[in-house]
A and B are shown apart, each in its own frame.
Chain A
Amino acid sequence: MKIVVCIKQVPATTEVSIDPETKRLVREGVEIMMNPFDTYALEEGLLLREAHGGEVIAISMGPKRTEATLREALACGADRAILLNDRVLGGSDTFATSYALSRAIAKIGNVDLVITGKQAVDGDTAQVGPGIAAHLGWPQAAYVSRVIESDSKHLVLERMHETGYDVCSLELPGVITVLKDINSPRVPTLKGRLASRKASINIWNASAISADLTKIGLNGSPTRVVATRSPDARDKHTIILDGSPEESARELVKILKQRIKL
């Protein structure tokens, strides 16, 4: 089975700032990590490879420092890693991002399954997985909580929704997005880490994936962030009560009564 896992490198914190010009997140100088949902995606890919043989290819779109996260994927056992890196890819919204990733998947060729995490914890949109499926013209199954059965032609999956779950059959090639706790992501072994340091990561730019320039980057993104601000009615000054339980309770009741008067 040829499996592509889409991984995103995200800030490891919610303390963020916005670049006043591009209105996009400032990513420099912020600690980074593999998007938590993607660690489950990677593990699921590795489990399927263990069951069926084949190859797990980790891909990611981002600046050069994304390589570190791809090396994590290699250290866990991915066979190859590809970084989509090009200045013109910067500032992409979910349409442009899913388009670029779909071009990379097309270039890899003969892919049976694409696995992504449900959503990235910085953007929180959950749009790229289904977007990749739509760009490829492949069927999708989102919110997958369990792979029940698998063979080279199809997967039987459990998907969650708010009021329950369903069981569905996905004919490959297809795209799935996975929830946390679908599996237990393995920790890289020492051997894996050493190997990953030496491994070479393919770097593909926009022309390598034959990207339509009108569909990538800031200019190819149908949506644009035009303004950012601090939350409205939310007073950023948190009132901290750290006295005794009796004191805190008294203060709280006082605050609530004032608030009710307003």
Chain B
Amino acid sequence: MSDPDLPGPESVAESHAGAVADAGAESVQASVHGANTGPRLRSKRRAPLTARQISTREQSHALFVELTDAKTSQTRRADCREELVRLHLPLVDHCARRFINRGEPLDDLIQVGTIGLIKSVDRFDNDRGVEFSTYATPTILGEIKRYFRDKGWAIRVPRRLQELRMTISSITGDMAQDLGRSPTPREIAEKLGVSVEEVMEGIESANAYSTLSLDAGDSNEDGSSTSMLDSLGMDDEALAHVEIRESIKPLIEQLPTRERRILMLRFFRGMTQSQIADEIGVSQMHVSRLLTRTLAELRVSLSEVS
């Protein structure tokens, strides 16, 4: 993501990402996007960069230049670092939101993601000609994923065992195919070059990820308790949204910059109309009018399309 404000690959505003990639210097970025999000991002659409996007990128670039300049004082350097981290906090927020509803509080995810951001700021090499956000995104995501790997376990299991467990479970499937039956621990041990005891340890550790019984009640505040069994086997509602999103995407691209920005702030950043009003510099009433009109227009064009 070229700009932390962008709602990211899953969003309608991804045309921005495409536009930035088109801009030339960021071919690396395009491939990163492509690798992460599949072919639909590679579309070559052009959309104008908003003033704020440019300023964030330029701000970030200027700060990095100052940060790496040998003449910069120690205190100023610390300030630059601080400012860079602050500047990209929305990127962390965006990354963390991708892992929402996976059993860890969003605030915790943002916190570990911010650690990833700080690491990225410290390690970033401005001379490589890569956008900082391109560099930072995988680092932030990596930090969040590592958090899941380390902390997601109900019982702390050493990483050696976690890795062994993963190897065992993947090799078990392969061996079951070859043998026509489930393999014995000894067979697995021979294949992996470890002892039978280690295999058993690895299998045992698999039971430690979540110790919560499926029948465990998830008592809500209103007193109604549903067991975890009830929550299994749901259709993925997000899947239905994909289609809508795909058809709405070109329509949103046709919107004027300001309308598009308001939509984005309202529905992707979750800002209130008053906050948007402050951000854009118009009255809340005006934001409300613009939103209503834009949504009505979208609805009409969407029904025309389908």
Q: Do A and B bind each other?
A: no
> What residues of chain B have their CB less than 8 Å away from a CB belonging to chain A?
none
